[in-house]
Amino acid sequence: MPTEYVSGDLFDNAHHAQAFAHGCNCQGSMGAGIAKTFRSLYPEMYDEYRSRCKAEPRRFHLGDCWLWKEDDQPWVFNLGTQEGYWRSRASYEAIATALRSMRTQAGAEGIIRIAMPRIGVGHGGLSWKKVRVIVEAVFGDWDGTLVVYEEYVPGDSHRSVATPEEEATTRTGPNRGESDAFTSRAKRRVPPRAATTGEPAGDAVGEVIYFDSVSGEYGCFSNFSPHPVKLKGKTWPTSEHYFQAQKFAGTPDEDEVRQAKSPMVAARMGRSRRRPLRKDWEAVKDAIMHEAVLAKFTQHADLREVLLGSGDARIVEHTEKDKYWGDGGDGSGQNRLGQTLMQVREELWNGQKGDDPAQAGLRGAGAG
């Protein structure tokens, strides 16, 4: 079949591609998502890409397809799919033009197997359903095979997510070089997926980021991370301090929790029923979590960059200790913290954050 849709780790190259392809902006930046791994694995390519983008006149434009050739590694088609890298949407027309050029160049070079992730989505802001139609239109009658990783799962290249008539592929290839950031995710234990863990709707199916502590590349997603937040005219040592203290809002216990020596101590104080829990807690706890997370990622520019840099990845708090805020360890939990992080990411991306995060509406009730 000309096009196969699979799940797994593109860089394992389990489908024996002669070349990879990926979408690029035209400003010389490969600083987020899967582009960071291309930058790490192909440093000389990145230098040349940046040189082309910064040249006067510029030598890499929307709709361009530039093929990088490297010994002992798959070659790389760099597709000019969007102009900028910040609040800049990709272009359906540019994607179609770049893909047509890629097909032509592949024919000239004798390349019959190409692998690529979804392009134009995430930071590109396009609909994968529409982009997929373009992919099919360009490669539908191609003599070669285009392998599209609809779901990027580091370290797992064996599951096919193809349409029913497509044959599942189960070959596993050797690991190739990895960036430090790539390795930190690939070596994590990946729990089974479940519909209750915040699966994105529609075409938003991509990389999955799991976090379970303050360590690692995405440790800042934890409420225990050491990043103070300013809310209600006070400074709270962590978002966990603020969240737990709001169980006792308006009482002396609220400030006692704020002054807790660590987020763990604050959590223990908040969970203790020796203090009277506010009567409306179940109704407001999701809104308060959103308030805390929004404050944290708007008040710390470096954290905001990390969250936005996660693209359209599904974010999951992977823990056996919590089936409401986390995934329960086996995917059966509600992953409400992960969902809140994704919601805040979308608000930041769309520029819809309010001046007063406390005005966030209620997000529903739960049991935890």
Tens-digit pLDDT profile for residues 203-229: 333 468 889 889 877 899 999 999 999
The contacts found for 68-71 with CB under 8 angstroms, 24 or more apart, are 68/42, 70/42, 70/44, 70/45
Residue with the bigger pLDDT between 312 and 240: it is 240
* Rounded mean pLDDT, 107-123: 92
Interval 20-68: pLDDT, tens: 999 999 989 887 778 889 999 999 999 999 999 999 999 999 999 999 9
Asked whether residue 185 is assigned to any structural domain, the reply reads no
Asked whether residue 305 is assigned to any structural domain, the reply reads yes
At 136 the pLDDT is 93
Q: Are residues 215 and 353 in the same domain?
A: yes
At 217 the pLDDT is 79
At 163 the pLDDT is 38
Q: Are residues 123 and 222 in the same domain?
A: no
At 331 the pLDDT is 86
Q: Are residues 94 and 47 in the same domain?
A: yes
Residue with the bigger pLDDT between 133 and 161: it is 133
Q: What is the mean pLDDT of the chain?
A: 81
Residue with the bigger pLDDT between 94 and 163: it is 94
Q: Are residues 299 and 337 in the same domain?
A: yes
At 326 the pLDDT is 93
| b/e code 32-63 from CB counts within 10 Å (16+ = b) | bbbbbbbbbbbeebbebbbebbeeeeeebbbb
Q: Are residues 174 and 231 in the same domain?
A: no
At 154 the pLDDT is 66
Least confident of 40-44, 67-71, 187-191, 245-249: 187-191
At 125 the pLDDT is 77
d(CA 9, CA 183): 12
| b/e code 307-328 from CB counts within 10 Å (16+ = b) | bbbbbbbbbbbbbeebbebbbb
How many domains does the chain contain in total? 2
d(CA 230, CA 236): 6
At 86 the pLDDT is 55
At 309 the pLDDT is 78
d(CA 16, CA 262): 50
Asked whether residue 202 is assigned to any structural domain, the reply reads no
Residue with the bigger pLDDT between 257 and 176: it is 257
Asked whether residue 198 is assigned to any structural domain, the reply reads no
Whether 284 contacts 324, CB under 8 Å = no
Range of the domain at 63: 3-161+169-178
Q: Are residues 136 and 235 in the same domain?
A: no
Q: Are residues 129 and 247 in the same domain?
A: no
Confidence of residue 85 (pLDDT cuts 50, 70, 90): low
Asked whether residue 196 is assigned to any structural domain, the reply reads no
Q: Are residues 104 and 50 in the same domain?
A: yes
Angle at the Cα of 92 (from 312 to 12), degrees rounded to 5? Answer: 50
Confidence of residue 352 (pLDDT cuts 50, 70, 90): very low
Q: Are residues 142 and 274 in the same domain?
A: no
Please give the sequence-ordered ranges of beta strands (E in DSSP) within the chain, or none if there are none. 3-8, 19-25, 65-68, 75-82, 113-117, 145-152, 208-211, 229-231, 234-236, 314-317
Residue 35's domain is classified under what CATH number? 3.40.220.10
Q: Are residues 236 and 123 in the same domain?
A: no
Asked whether residue 347 is assigned to any structural domain, the reply reads yes
Alpha helix positions (H), 114-156: 128-139
* Rounded mean pLDDT, 130-142: 93
Asked whether residue 38 is assigned to any structural domain, the reply reads yes
At 87 the pLDDT is 55
Q: Are residues 343 and 266 in the same domain?
A: yes
Confidence of residue 367 (pLDDT cuts 50, 70, 90): very low
Residue 285's domain is classified under what CATH number? 1.10.357.40
d(CA 312, CA 309): 9
Q: Are residues 99 and 235 in the same domain?
A: no
Asked whether residue 366 is assigned to any structural domain, the reply reads no
